[in-house]
Amino acid sequence: MKYPVEHKFAKQWWISLSEACNWKCWYCDFPMKKDIKTADADYLKWFLNILKPVIKDKNIEICVEGGEIGLVDPHILDIFFNSDLDKSYTVTTNGLFMRQDYHNRYKDHIHYILYHVVSDVTDPNVVFEKYKDTDPSIKIDYTIVIHKRNIKYLDEFFDNNKDCIFLPHLMQPRRPGLDFLSIEEFEQIYDILKDKENVYDHFKNRILNIIQHLKEEQSDPTKLKKMRDFCANVYHKPIFDLPNRLIKRCCITIDNCDAADITEENLYKLVNNDVSLFPKTDPICDNCIANFLWRHNPKWMLKYNRDELMNITRSLRRNNYHEVL
Ligand code: SF4
């Protein structure tokens, strides 16, 4: 199954409206939070007001989430979705957003929903709600998180849900102390998924990419480190943590990466890829196998995003980050 929006956007800017979530996924950093915060209305209006000129005419996809966005106060959602940012949004949800019928309420402002169907696949017969009658202008993909302990259920799980198209997620270093997948486990996952019609080819290709790079890393660790350091300076997927009024380097995690204050000046640094915004490297990258790590390397950008690469190279040179290239 071909992934329709690939290469469409140069960058994805994520916005977190709240820390509240009705799930407690063991691999996530949100449940670890003590005093749950949410974005307030005046601050959100101020943020949207300074964001608009920064992203005007920029090839940036705006993605919004919580915690769980379905728990966010409707007044806050109205301010966000009815803001005149002149963008159509991507929403990630565990389904509560649709159960609240928000996908219909804001259908004129949403083009893509990534629906996390279950917190963890611990039973291949797990049942979840399926959305077949949504507005055709909104594309919904289904996702699960794959990790060491649920590989054994994947084959039957995907066969039990042939009526849904899946863009699975591989467990990422969202919080410290997670046990990552080994090369052998990636090979096992690939063998299970390679012939599944209801899993995107682009995800299967990525697993082959990961296996190739992790094998190379065994003989030459510098190459993958260089790719991770470059990715850390591409600012491809930052996240705006509005409850804490901070820009975080990467949406892989909301708490365990570098942060900077949300100011107009810092938003321009981000959009101009001014690499003085964050330190050169970030420990969060050390175990990263994210999609855009493979995609957002100089060779790929030279082919698909030359302008952005030139922009980044100038900024890296200006800040003496030559070795990152
Ligand atoms: S290497 Fe991974 S964690 Fe680091 S910035 Fe890139 S995607 Fe984020």
The closest alpha carbon to 28, from 293, 253, 198, 312, belongs to 253
Cβ–ligand 1 distance for 293 under 6 Å, the answer yes
pTM of the model: 0.88
Where are the extended beta strands (E) located within the chain? 11-16, 60-65, 89-93, 110-116, 139-143, 145-146, 169-170, 239-241, 246-248, 259-261
Q: Nearest-CA neighbor of 81 among 106, 63, 58?
A: 106
| Residue-range domain boundaries for the chain | 11-220+235-293
145, 123 contact by CB (below 8 A): no
Model pLDDT for residues 209-227, shown as the tens digit of each residue: 889 888 888 888 888 888 8
CATH class of 11-220+235-293: alpha beta
Q: What is the pLDDT of residue 238?
A: 93
Say if ligand 1 is within 6 A of residue 252 CB: yes
Give the closest residue (by CA) to ligand 1 atom 8.
250
What are the C-alpha distances in Å from 243 to residues 17, 143, 239, 252?
6, 26, 12, 17
71 lines ligand 1 (CB under 6 A): no
Residue nearest to atom 5 of ligand 1 (CA): 232
171-196 per-position pLDDT tens digit: 877 777 778 889 999 999 999 999 99
Tokens of 71: 């728990």
In degrees rounded to 5, what are phi and psi of residue 176? -65, 160
Lowest model confidence (mean pLDDT) among 18-27, 34-43, 299-308: 299-308
**Ligand 1 closest atom vs CA 232:** 5
- Dist. CA 107–CA 186, nearest whole Å: 37
| Of 14, 250, 280, 312, best ligand 1 pocket probe by most atoms within 8 Å of the beta carbon | 250
d(CA 101, ligand 1 centre) in Å: 33
